[in-house]
Structure formats: structure tokens, C-alpha cells
Structure 1
Amino acid sequence: MERYNSGSKYKIFGIAVSIMNLTLQGWLLYSTWPHRIGAARQIIAIISAYLITDFINGLVHIYMDNNDRYDSPAGPLIANFHLHHKIPSYKKNNLLIVYFNESGSKVWLVGFLAAVALLPEVVAVDQTIMYILVYTGILSSIAEVSHYLCHSSTSPTAMFLARIGLLLSKRHHAGHHLQDNSNYAFLNGFTDPLLNLIAGRFYGGYKQNTDLHYSHYTVPDSESR
């Protein structure tokens, strides 16, 4: 964590990742939206993208929470990701700022969005599939906002959206912090039963592994996400 805080290059890198993600999201939505697919297929695309997003981001979360390669070039970014288990609270911010800032942690999303942008240039893609992919790319950033609201908001709107399953509920996500190796999804948590099976099969858990990285770490008063 000291390496992350000792210089500005990692924070600048995060800003660059955010800009790339938002630029690609905007371009994909702009280029896809003129292709109409009808209300029924739009509903199918949104529901499919919701489930895919919840699952994919949960898989990334499993990998990152159990990644202990602190000596690698990405080590400071990994350590910063793990900081959330030490200090779950977020700085209070406008949701658009949260969307931008938290998109900076999603390095993998840049590659995903770039691949989606290039896909129609390589093969013929059904427009419903294209919408699913574009929505998945956007919802992957919205998942970060959902996670933020889960930890930082008691607004009636956020609580209602969590209650009807559109966002992550506090009670459901509490299992991730109170238990071990469970409830990794953070869009709405619908795919956690499958993710929990995968996590249990391939990983031993983070509480006796990467969480120990912070056991003697003193958190500065100003430090939070």
C-alpha cells in the first residue's frame, strides 16, 4: 500500500483507465443505439446483461480478492483493491463521480469494451447480442455504484432498488465481509450461488490469506476510497 501512496503514477493510471472506459462505453452506446431491436428483445438484452454482468464482475472479484501477487508490477493496484476489506466505507460523493472514479479500478473492462467495439468489424453480430455486450460493459461500471450505495447510502430510493433486486442489498453483501469466500457479486448478487460454488472449488478464502496483508497496517484518518 505504501507503494501505491508514495507516488501519483498509480492514481494517474486509474484516471486514464476511467477515461478509456467511459469513452468506449459512450461510443458503443452511440453506435449501437440506432439499430432498433424492439421492446421484447430490449428486455431480453437488459435481463441477460444484468445476469452476465453480475457473474463476470463476481468472477473478477473472486480473482482479485485472492490475488496475493504484491511484488508484481500490478502489486500496488492489488493492495489498493484489498484495502476495501480493511476500510469498507467510501468517501461520500456524487454518483457520477463515483461512476468515474470506480471505473478506474476496472482495467479488464478496457479490453472487454475494445473487443466489443472491434467485434462487428470482424464478424456479423446479431444486434440483440450486441446490445447485451454493450449493456454488460456499462453495467459493469454501474455495479461499482451499486456497491458504493450498498456501503454508503440509506436513501429510500437506493434501499427500494436493492429490495426489488436491481441493486445490491446491504444484508446480502454483508455475507462477503462477515463470512469468508462468499457473496462476491456486487451488481445485485443474483449469481452468488454459482459464484460461491466456483470460489469454494478453486480458492481457500481471503480472511486467512490476502486479508492478513493488512493485519498490521495502520490506516491514515484520511484514507478511504
Structure 2
Amino acid sequence: MAGDLGGLRPRVDSVLHDGRSTWDEALVLFLERSGYTEESYHTFSYSPLRDESGDVVGVLCVVSEETQRVVTERRMATLRELGSDPGAVRAEAQFLRFSAEQLARNPHGLPFTLTYLFREDGSARLAASSGIGRDHPAAPDELEAGAAGPWPTARAWRGRTSVIALDDGRFGELSTACGAGGRVGPGRPDRPSPHPCSPGGSSVPPLARRAAK
């Protein structure tokens, strides 16, 4: 496991200099593990170690990983926001706009989203998006019926979920500002970050329309 831990040095120096304990809660770290860069969250506590005379001679650092908790809370918050009463939302366009706004509030878990509405012939049109420009190669306005790419309509039309690799030229540049909520723009992120990364894949789930009662 490797990563940039240089940001912890000021905390360690502070404990060595002041002799007082401190901590970082759910600190985001980008670590090289499992063969790729992974966004992770850890809580660090730093305590001074003293010798017999009471002088600070070292630091005890205890680390606990909180990635699962942070990610789970983030996902649950998105679900709550999507399920909240949108109030004045009545028309389809209003609901789509409301949903896109809620999804955009979770840029860490959902760097970008595209919502397509199917027509009767199996083709689809882009109805809403978040985190990505409408002029991006990955966000075509129209998807033909039975199209294989960039997003496969045939499987979604049949109610099946697809997972699509994003590492080929069909999708253009999808570098996002990891952990910073960057927005994907044509060829480059609109808000660069010290930790840019590229999504490796995307899920294409069908959303069934609830039958009218």
C-alpha cells in the first residue's frame, strides 16, 4: 500500500513541539492498493510519547479505516435526498431536474450521471445530467435503438444492467477531480484537483416506470 501521507507531517510536528494530542477524522487519502489508486478514509489520533523526565520523545499514531462508513453514509444521504418530497415538482421535466440536482450533491460517489428516456421504438434521448457537460463525447443527445455504444440501449431496454469500461476513446477524456467534486468538461475537468483520476467503469441500470394505478 502506498500513498501521499505528507499531509500528516504537520500533525506529527505539532505533537512533538506542543506535547498535546490531536486527531484527524475521516481524512481522505488516495492510496495505491489492489493495483490501482483508491479513494479511502482514515481517522488518525496522535499522542505524545514521553520519557522518564517527561520530555516528548516520540508520537503514537493510531489509525482506523473508515472508508466503508463514509461511503455508506454518502450513499444513504443520496437516497434520502432522492426520496424526499420535491414539493412543487409536478411535471416530468421538473422531476428530472430535481433528481439531477440531488445526484450532483454526491460528486465523490457519482462523478457524473446521465439520464436517458426511452421512446417506444427503443431509441433514447438525454433528459438530464449532472457533473458532465452536455457537449461531452460521453453525453450524446440521442441513442439509437439497439445501439452498442457509447451506452448500450438494448440491454437497458430489456431491463438489464450493464457495466461499461471507460478506458477507450469512445468517451473522450473523463478525468475528474477525485474527492473535490470536479465537473467533467470537454477534454479536461473544469476544476482541476491535486488528485485527478479517471473513472474506470460506469453502471448503466434501467429504471422501470411505475405502473399507473
What is the TM-score of this pair, normalised by structure 2? 0.28
Higher strand share: 2
Structure number with bigger Rg: 2
What is the TM-score of this pair, normalised by structure 1? 0.27
Q: State the structure with bigger RCO (CA 8 A, min sep 6), 1 or 2.
A: 1
Higher helix share: 1
